[in-house]
């Protein structure tokens, strides 16, 4: 389990762009098909835009057609945490960064991987590090 990072609201606002803050700290979402990593196919790592925690790897990314970057599994078992989300009149499973608890997106049971999961993640919550 990664060590938790906790910052004041002012510190998060200073560290993040307005869009990143809205997604990561307020649980917002970007519009479908607008995120910078939705079509990215380069090899590398996807890290939390707020704290740098490794979240997902490009080998687990696929085109789900949903309009957001989709992954079959987190990079490591404890990289993300899942919480029940009953907002907007739906019951979903929210995915947050295990280190800073930033909102990433949601996980759904309709993915192609061995576990049948689709981690649907906002590009604004991610920072991509290409493979060297």
pLDDT tens, residue by residue, 48-87: 999 999 999 999 999 999 999 999 999 988 999 999 988 8
Catalytic residue (choose from 48, 51, 100, 120): 120
d(CA 69, CA 81): 18
**15 falls in which pLDDT band (50, 70, 90)?**
very high
CB 82 within 8 A of CB 107: yes
pTM of the predicted model as reported, rounded to 2 decimal places: 0.94
Nearest to 95 by CA among 79, 81, 110, 109: 81
Is pLDDT of 2 > 70?
A: no
d(CA 45, CA 56): 6
Predicted local confidence at residue 71, as pLDDT:
98
Comparing 1-5, 7-11, 77-81, 121-125, which segment has the lowest mean pLDDT? 1-5
Q: What residue ranges define each of the domains in the chain, with the CATH number in brackets?
A: 9-130 (2.170.150.20)
Please state, as a whole number, how many other Cβ atoms lie within 10 Å of the Cβ of residue 52: 14
Q: Is 48 a catalytic residue?
A: no
């Amino acid at each position: 389990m990664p060590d938790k990072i906790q910052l004041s609201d002012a510190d998060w606002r200073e560290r993040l762009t307005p869009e990143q803050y809205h997604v990561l700290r307020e649980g917002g979402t970007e519009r479908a098909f607008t995120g910078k990593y939705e079509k990215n196919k380069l090899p590398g790592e996807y890290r939390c835009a707020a704290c740098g925690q490794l979240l997902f790897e490009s080998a687990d990314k696929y085109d789900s057609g949903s309009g957001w970057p989709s992954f079959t599994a987190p990079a490591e078992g404890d990289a993300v945490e899942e919480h029940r989300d009953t907002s907007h009149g739906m019951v979903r499973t929210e995915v947050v960064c295990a280190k800073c608890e930033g909102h990433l997106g949601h996980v759904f049971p309709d993915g192609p991987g061995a576990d049948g999961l689709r981690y649907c993640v906002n590009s604004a919550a991610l920072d991509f590090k290409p493979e060297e």
